[in-house]
Amino acid sequence: MPSTSPRFFPPAGPILGRYDGPVVRATGIRYARATRFQVPVAESASSTPIDATSPAPACPQVPDTLLGPALGSLFAGLTYDEDCLRLSITLPADWQPGEQLPVLVWVHGGSYVMGAGDMAVYDPAAIVAEQRVVFVAVTYRLGLLGFLGSESGPPPNLGLLDLLEALRWVQRNIAAFGGNPALVTLFGQSAGADAIAHLMIADGAAGLFKRVILHSAPLGLARNRQAMQRAMTAAAGTFAPTASIDEVLARESAVHKAARRFGLKSGMPFGTQYGAYPLPPESQVNEAWQAVAPHVDVLIGATAEETRFFAVLDPKYRRLLRIPLLGSLLTRPLVAISSRLVYLKAAKSFARRHARAGGRAYHFLVLFQPRGSEFGAAHTIDLSLLLGTQASWSFAPILGQEKWEDIDQAGRQMRQLWAAFARTGTLPARVDIPGILRVKQEASRQ
């Protein structure tokens, strides 16, 4: 390994990274700045070296204690700061100047209220080293800071505007890290995938990416949210200019409470707002997705038992499970119906509409069920096949008794397919990896 730190010279200014085994990392790079509740402003070029050796801080967020029984110490080691508009780049250590590798831009999930780009379970070292891609993880504003607003208050969709600024930074600078700005694939899971689906139709997004990979996007919750958003905005109220970040976060519980009466969609109350910049009105979104279809390749799908993740964590579900003989008979259809309503049906419809509008679309279903795990093929299980390391996943109960060597082997096949899609936009018309994954190309309208 070279003794000196790797140096990069993009238009953003000189950047100092670090070697880390088979990859090079340049982390915590500021792509924009934003005053609280204001639109982001692109970061100016630096004339002095930028130290990119520390992880990006997470957006301040309310701690979620419910995820521990599924994902373990998910947030261990994170720092939090409102100055969180940062991105981190990982590239192969043997990258050669002049190479133009495909770029995967990761948009993390977390119901628009939690998470960060540099969480350990999102470590991209395996896919970067194996498949020779450049990976960019973006951290953006969440919750009240990024995804609630109104005409008379803070602008809505600030988190989407953050992501647009990150993509513009990538277009200007990624070539200096071996990435091809003409081969950018947006890649996200859960709320991150939902955000990407909406970036496809966002004003100002044209030309910033060529492909998208959407995992478990809760698109079944995206429509008819206006009444809920008004109730949430009223519950949020206004903040004094001197309000601390703790005061802002404390208001989120009242906002969540105001959303509860709105049924299934209250499961993810924060989110994008149609009709507010940069998104079209809700009545025009289907037409907008159809218009962009010929210009963006799509790979979209979900896990086979998405909502089993949330069900297992729910005490009411666990009480049902304990009913002798009838427990599993009662709970299985609940998981199947809710998974279909929130994730599966919407993913299939998205792929079908995209193909019929002249775009290239593939639909996938993740079947992987770790041995000894009560979660089965649940929400987030696909992430273990694509990102993270044995160390970062070792305390995750969702993996049951599955050996990491077997997870890694299954994941290698999936990582190869995903990287091939990022390079070419094409996959075999049908892929069937028994017990792991199915992929099918959607037929275009003849």
pLDDT in tens, 296-311: 999 999 999 999 888 8
Provide the pLDDT confidence category of residue 201 given band limits of 50, 70 and 90: very high
pLDDT in tens, 39-63: 999 999 999 999 999 999 999 998 7
Residue 210: per-residue pLDDT? 98
420 occurs within a structural domain: yes
331 occurs within a structural domain: no
62 occurs within a structural domain: yes
Token reading at 322: 């304990």
Instruction: Provide CB contacts within 8 A for 75, sequence distance 6+.
Output: 58, 63, 64, 119
Residue 65: per-residue pLDDT? 58
What amino acid positions are annotated as catalytic residues?
190, 306, 379
Identify the bridge partners of residue 386 per DSSP, sorted by sequence position.
none
Would you say 303 and 296 are in contact if contact means Cβ atoms under 8 Å apart? no
317 occurs within a structural domain: no
**pTM as predicted:** 0.95
Which tops the pLDDT comparison, 198 or 96? 198
Instruction: Provide CB contacts within 8 A for 158, sequence distance 6+.
Output: 34, 37, 38, 39, 40, 141, 145, 146, 147, 149
pLDDT in tens, 139-177: 999 999 999 998 888 999 999 999 999 999 999 999 999
Characterize the bridge pairing of strands 86-92 and 23-30.
antiparallel
Identify the bridge partners of residue 365 per DSSP, sorted by sequence position.
302, 438
Locate the DSSP E strands across 108-201.
Answer: 134-138, 179-189
234 occurs within a structural domain: yes
Calculate the CA 114 to chain-centre distance: 11
Which tops the pLDDT comparison, 313 or 32? 32
pLDDT in tens, 277-333: 999 999 999 999 999 999 999 999 999 999 988 888 776 666 666 666 555 666 778
Residue 223 belongs to domain spanning: 7-307+339-441
Say how far apart CA 441 and CA 446 lie, in whole Å: 15
Question: Is 44 exposed, middle or buried, given 0-12, 13-18 or 19+ CB atoms closer than 10 A?
Answer: exposed
Locate the DSSP E strands across 284-443.
Answer: 297-303, 361-366, 430-433, 437-441
348 occurs within a structural domain: yes
What is the domain-level CATH number for residue 48?
Answer: 3.40.50.1820
Provide the pLDDT confidence category of residue 396 given band limits of 50, 70 and 90: confident
Would you say 112 and 218 are in contact if contact means Cβ atoms under 8 Å apart? no
Number of domains observed in the structure of the chain:
1
Q: Which residue has the tokens 């210009």?
A: 295
Per the rule left: phi > 0, alpha: psi between -120 and 50, beta: everything else, 250 is alpha
327 occurs within a structural domain: no
325 occurs within a structural domain: no
Would you say 25 and 89 are in contact if contact means Cβ atoms under 8 Å apart? yes
Token reading at 246: 């703790």
